Amino acid sequence: MITGHRPMEPTENPPEREAAIKIQLASRLDRHLALAAKLASKFGVPPDAFAAAAWHAYLHASPALAEHIEQLQFMASIEELRTAGRLAKA
C-alpha cells in the first residue's frame, strides 16, 4: 500500500448530478437508436421487425422484466381459462 494515499470511497451523487447523468445516458441512447434505425432502413428491415428486434434486445438485457412479463401472461391465461369455465377456481 502506498503511504499517504487514501483509498477512494464511493460517494453518492447529488440529485443534480443524477439528473445530468440520466440526460447524458438518454442522449447516448438516442444516438445509438438513431444509428440502428438508419442501418435498419438502409438494409430494408421492416419497421415492425426493427421494433421487435429492439424489444427483444431490451428484454434480453433485462431478465427480471422478461420474467415479470411472462408471469403476467401466465396469470392472464389462467384467468382466461377460468372465465371460459375450463379451469376451476381454488
Three-state DSSP string of 7-46: CCCCCCCCHHHHHHHHHHHHHHHHHHHHHHHHHHHHCCCC
In this predicted model, which residue has the larger pLDDT, 13 or 74? 74
Average pLDDT of 7-29? 84
End-to-end CA separation in angstroms for the chain: 64
Going from N- to C-terminal start, the domains of the chain cover: 14-44, 46-90
Which of 15-19, 47-51, 83-87 ranks highest by mean pLDDT? 47-51
- For residue range 25-77, what is the model confidence (pLDDT) as tens digits? 999 999 999 999 999 999 999 999 999 999 999 999 999 999 999 999 999 99
Q: What is the CA radius of gyration of the chain?
A: 23
Under the banding of pLDDT at 50, 70 and 90, the label for residue 87 is: confident
Query: CB of 50 within 8 A of CB of 37?
Result: yes
Q: What DSSP state is assigned to residue 6?
A: P
The three cell numbers of residue 42 are 438502409
Residues ≥6 apart with Cβ < 8 Å to 49:
40
